[in-house]
């Protein structure tokens, strides 16, 4: 007689084992993709934050260069109004001609205005406007009967957006007092203070801009014309004397530069 023994092992996996293996594999792949997605999101947020910081820094540098290079005859005007709990300002610079190409055509801006606009989102936008004609009161172009169409900007550039707070203050060099507006003709403020905050939770930043005191070229030319435009001839030098305007110092030990002895 022949006997058969059932000692053969089962080949393959059960359905439960296959399901468990697929579940673990899907879980592992999901974790890998989740980590990769989080890393990409963090990297994008970091790049966005760095770009915004560079944009803000470039904005402050632009203002600093602009204010430090203002000529002495610049018309400076700052008007502020409060609407819906926010301050909207118009800072206008005139007699600062700027020539550049806009739309493929060379243009000259006789007035530049940095304006604050309120958007539907509730945030503010900082816009730089260029005007072909003078727009401040008392200007020659306005006295000449220019129409309102001529006083509209021919170019407008949005410099900043999503601004929560944007407020100017100017320092009067005569009284050394801070003011929120400025309409003094023939004189520039000594300093400008800008307080700004970006986004919902952005902290307030404060920047100080200096305006160097410069002589008005029109006043200097008028003084030259009133003085005859000629300088007096230097006095003749007698033999054996020194040149006029020189000082003969005594010999001996003199104090070193930068030191004062009582």
Q: Cβ distance 162 to 209 under 8 Å? A: no
Spatial distance between the Cα atoms of 140 and 146, rounded to a whole number of angstroms: 9
Supply 88's token pair: 């909207």
Question: Quick check: helix, strand or coil at residue 250?
Answer: coil
- pLDDT tens digits, 141-175: 555 555 555 678 999 999 999 999 999 999 999 99
Mean pLDDT, the chain, rounded, equals: 79
Distance of CA 128 to the CA centre of its chain: 11
Per-residue pLDDT at 228: 59
The pTM score is 0.68
CA geometry: angle 189, 193, 197, nearest 5 deg: 150
Query: Pairing between strand 178-179 and 155-171?
Result: antiparallel
Per-residue pLDDT at 67: 93
Per-residue pLDDT at 194: 96
Per-residue pLDDT at 86: 85
According to DSSP, residue 240 is labeled T
Per-residue pLDDT at 145: 55
On the question of pLDDT at 100 being above 80, the answer is no
CB atoms within 10 A of CB 52: 15
Per-residue pLDDT at 255: 40
On the question of pLDDT at 191 being above 90, the answer is yes
| Dihedral (Cα; 26, 28, 29, 31), 10-degree rounding | 120
- pLDDT tens digits, 52-90: 889 999 999 999 999 998 988 899 999 999 887 888 999
Per-residue pLDDT at 119: 92
E strands present in 187-260: 191-198, 205-210
């Amino acid at each position: 007689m022949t006997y058969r023994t059932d000692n053969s092992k089962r080949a393959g996996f059960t359905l439960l084992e296959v399901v468990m293996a697929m579940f673990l594999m899907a879980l592992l792949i999901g974790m890998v993709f989740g980590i990769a997605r989080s890393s990409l999101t963090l990297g994008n947020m970091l790049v966005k934050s760095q770009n915004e910081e560079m944009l803000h820094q470039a904005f402050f540098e632009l203002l600093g260069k602009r204010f430090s290079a203002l000529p002495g005859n610049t018309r400076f005007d700052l008007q502020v109004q409060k609407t819906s709990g926010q301050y909207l300002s118009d800072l206008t610079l005139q007699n600062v001609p700027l020539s550049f190409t806009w739309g493929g055509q060379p243009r000259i801006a006789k007035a530049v205005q940095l304006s604050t606009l309120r958007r539907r989102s509730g945030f503010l936008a900082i816009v730089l406007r260029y005007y072909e004609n003078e727009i401040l009161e008392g200007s020659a172009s306005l006295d000449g009967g220019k129409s309102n169409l001529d006083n509209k900007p021919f170019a407008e550039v949005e410099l900043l957006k999503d601004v929560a707070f944007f407020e100017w203050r100017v320092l009067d060099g005569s009284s050394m007092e801070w003011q929120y507006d400025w309409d003094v003709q023939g004189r520039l403020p000594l300093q400008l203070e800008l307080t700004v905050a970006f986004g919902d939770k952005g902290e307030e930043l404060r920047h100080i801009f200096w305006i160097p005191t410069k002589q008005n070229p029109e006043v200097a030319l008028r003084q030259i014309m009133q003085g005859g435009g000629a300088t007096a001839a230097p006095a003749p030098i007698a033999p054996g004397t020194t040149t006029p305007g020189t000082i003969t110092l005594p010999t001996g030990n003199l104090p070193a530069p930068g030191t004062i002895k009582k």
